[in-house]
Amino acid sequence: MSTVQRRVAILDDHELLAESLEIALSVHGYDVRRVPVPADGGAPRTLVDALVRLRPRVLLLDLDLGSFGDATVLVAPLRAAGVRVVVLTGETDRARWGRVLAEGAHTVLSKASALIEVISTVRRVDDGHAVLTPEERAELIAAWRERLAERGADEVRLARLSPREARVLGLLMEGMHVRDIAVDRVVSEATVRSQVHSILTKLDVSSQLAAVTLAHRSNWRPPVPA
């Protein structure tokens, strides 16, 4: 097998882990190329082009790349370019694992995995073997699709809020208490409590914390006051 065929790229903003992976994979005969994460974030297309120019067979990809942000956007274009993506992440959210698999990643490994497990996975992927069973892959992708369905339902609930209720929810998301909101809105605490009760009813949740969690989960933002 040629050097190019055995080339592995690493894109991870954790220097110690990236260096450990580079050393371990080099010992096992791989031509390893570490790719720096752009300090200023950068455009996904630019980073994809840089990775494709290296012509790696396998890419070890961290999902959270510091200033660049969520690396999920890289998976589909890299897969289309023929790069076999192995996601190595500290993320434990199975729905998020399912998302990158749906985008075309070969598999997902926890950063808690032993180095020998990572090396074994790279070898299997490089040799064209499946790492996940069809059942495991389908289960994780189903978790992502369920998350999407939940977000859709959340958006419907959030759309029920009146403009005033939406502004109150926005203030709750900022960590404000009912008394502070009453002062900010120049209304009585009783009025704010009534609005909070209406918010909980419309969102079908039982606490302010649950309402805030639902809003964050949907990446919802309150309307800008006119």
What H or E segment, with its residue span, contains residue 132? none
Q: Are residues 13 and 115 in the same domain?
A: yes
* Assigned domain for 154 exists: no
Instruction: Quote the number of domains for the chain.
Output: 2
Token pair recorded at residue 222: 């309150």
Q: Are residues 73 and 166 in the same domain?
A: no
Tell me the per-residue pLDDT of 14-50, one tens digit each, with 9 for 90 and over. Answer: 999 999 999 999 999 999 999 988 877 678 888 999 9
pLDDT higher than 70, residue 72: yes
Q: Are residues 33 and 109 in the same domain?
A: yes
Q: Are residues 89 and 181 in the same domain?
A: no
* Assigned domain for 225 exists: no
Q: Which residue range forms the structural domain that includes residue 182?
A: 160-217
pLDDT higher than 90, residue 2: no
Q: Are residues 134 and 174 in the same domain?
A: no
Look up residue 70 and give its DSSP letter. B
Q: Are residues 106 and 186 in the same domain?
A: no
Q: Are residues 37 and 73 in the same domain?
A: yes
